Structure 1
Amino acid sequence: MAKRILLITGWGVGTEVLEDFALALRDKQFNVDLINIFDPAHAVTLDSYSDLAQHYDILMGWSLGGQLASILAEQVWQRTRQAKTLITLASNPCFVQSEHWPKAMSQQAFSQFKQSYLDHPEACIKRFCYLISQGSLQHKKDWLTLQSLLKAQDFLEMKQGLNTLLQLNTVPILQNYEGQQFHLLAEQDQLLSHQIATDLHKLAAKFLNIIKIDGSHAFPVTNVKQTSEKIVQICQQL
């Protein structure tokens, strides 16, 4: 039976940017449902998505979506004792720097980024696309591709998403998770240092695996073929 994947996109870009990646996975005989980010601090919302997650074999997310997938994996485990396979793509368990997780965006830089979104949403998203495509060998092309795929996002949802990025700390989840977890990190990522691999290894989780991949932070969008092949390789290990 084909494995079912719940795929969660990242902040600010909607689901459209991952449609090609989802299609590539479907071509490799996975059943994939692609969803947008949500507010995990809202109890009713979290309950609804946790119920949904129980029906999938693999919980996967890009960037903020990876943190949300981690939360759902932990929720499903707590409720059912089912250990879903967790896969994160270019995802930092803490997006904003703290004393216990220093390899992340500084508090000051995040505050400036948040204010720029509140003041000029469209310009901020355009710059965000520039940042997440940096490091790629075809940076400008990838930047333009990302922008061409974007659809207008709900302002209040994106504002809440920024609050989620500020507050989330999924380190304890990853450290204690009972299931298989795979974290794909891009070597040329200019937004998220692939050096967090060292800190992830230090968590000494039971079944934690780190996989390096070529590309920028946007690799699930711009490096679809290699990324989908990595997912196949992961599933062959399960």
Structure 2
Amino acid sequence: MSLHTEHYGAGPDLVLLHGWGLSSAIWQPLIEPLASHYRLTLIDIPGLGQSPTLECTSIDSVAEMLLDGAPERAVWLGWSLGGALALAVANRAPERVSQLVLTAATPCFVQRDDWPCAMAEETFDAFASGLGDNGAKTLSRFAMLQTQGSTSARQELRLLKQVIAASAADEQGLVATLALLAEDLRPLLAHVSHPLMLMLGEQDPLVPIEMAEHIGSLRADAVIRRYATAAHLPFITEPARFIEDLDDFIAGSRL
């Protein structure tokens, strides 16, 4: 079973993974500037976008499917859920990943007693239960939450709604991929040794900026880039700086 994959540009390989409830179309504003100096591989996560839904979805099975459609070695950039999956890929096949970039992502999306810098468990449970009641309403609420606090909230919400409408993910895919966000991947982050950068919005209601202070206990060498005006979509809020930071990191830490 193959995943929907798109390629653009030429140069060093860069894989882009999108977030929950969406598709690779979320990267559309970045394709032209990035494709001028990278060979982009955009992959729709199983169960989302134009990729088929797996009957049994685990973080390892999804990572394996992503690897099947990816270059032999690349920088992996994952946003939100895509960041968790990029981390799983790096752990499963370290030789396939040169550098790891987590955007508005965290190794643990849901609060634990020893990890308060995350989404409250009751908020996550409300999204999970809401899918069965009204999936469209749940996705709309999730889109609004992602933009809260951003200086370009209207633009971002419009883009999210367009991508959601075009993606038309089914309930099975949404439920299966949401469950991936409940996993605690902190041991994986502590284990991988790839050059690592986190790109975080200071206004993000889903991945609190305080998380940056806790990453040091797992990866003291992680590069942190903070975007003061951004919420959950820093690559849309501050695209020029986002691309500049990405370029600098890739050039400076290339193995």
| TM-score (norm: length of structure 1) | 0.88
Correspondence list, 1:34-113, <5 A: 34-38=42-46, 41=58, 45-53=62-70, 55-77=72-94, 80=95, 84-113=98-127
Cα 1:154–1:24 change in 2 (3 A) is farther
- 1:116 maps onto 2:116 in alignment: no
How far 1:146 moved relative to its partner? 2.1
SS at match of 1:55: coil
SS at match of 2:216: helix
- The corresponding residue for 2:196 is 181
How far 1:54 moved relative to its partner? 5.6
Q: Residue 207 of structure 2 is aligned with which of 165, 173, 192?
A: 192
Matched pairs, number: 232
- 1:143 maps onto 2:160 in alignment: no
Cα 1:117–1:48 change in 2 (3 A) is closer
The answer as to whether partners of 2:60 and 2:92 remain within 8 angstroms in 1 is no
Q: Deviation digits for residues 103-158 of structure 1, max 9, x if unmatched?
A: 11122221111111221111111111111011112323322232133321232111
How far 1:45 moved relative to its partner? 4.5
SS at match of 1:127: helix
Give the whole-Å Cα distance in 2 for the aligned partners of 1:230 and 1:171.
24
Letter paired with 2:82: G
- The corresponding residue for 2:32 is 23
Deviates more, 1:32-41 or 1:62-71: 32-41
Q: Which has the higher helix share?
A: 1
Letter paired with 1:155: E
- The corresponding residue for 2:51 is none
Cα 1:213–1:42 change in 2 (3 A) is closer
Cα 1:163–1:204 change in 2 (3 A) is closer
- Give the CA RMSD over aligned residues: 2.1
Give the whole-Å Cα distance in 2 for the aligned partners of 1:138 and 1:6.
26
Q: Deviation digits for residues 69-112 of structure 1, max 9, x if unmatched?
A: 001011112xx4x6520001000111111123221112222111
Q: Residue 22 of structure 2 is aligned with which of 13, 17, 27?
A: 13
- The corresponding residue for 1:157 is 173
Give the whole-Å Cα distance in 2 for the aligned partners of 1:89 and 1:43.
20
SS at match of 1:84: strand
Letter paired with 2:205: Q
Q: Identify unmatched segments of 5+ residues in structure 1.
A: none
Q: Residue 142 of structure 2 is aligned with which of 128, 146, 153?
A: 128
The answer as to whether partners of 2:203 and 2:231 remain within 8 angstroms in 1 is yes
The answer as to whether partners of 1:50 and 1:72 remain within 8 angstroms in 2 is yes
- 1:230 maps onto 2:253 in alignment: no
The answer as to whether partners of 2:100 and 2:196 remain within 8 angstroms in 1 is yes
How far 1:23 moved relative to its partner? 2.9
Q: Identify unmatched segments of 5+ residues in structure 2.
A: 1-9, 47-53
Give the whole-Å Cα distance in 1 for the aligned partners of 2:122 and 2:149.
23
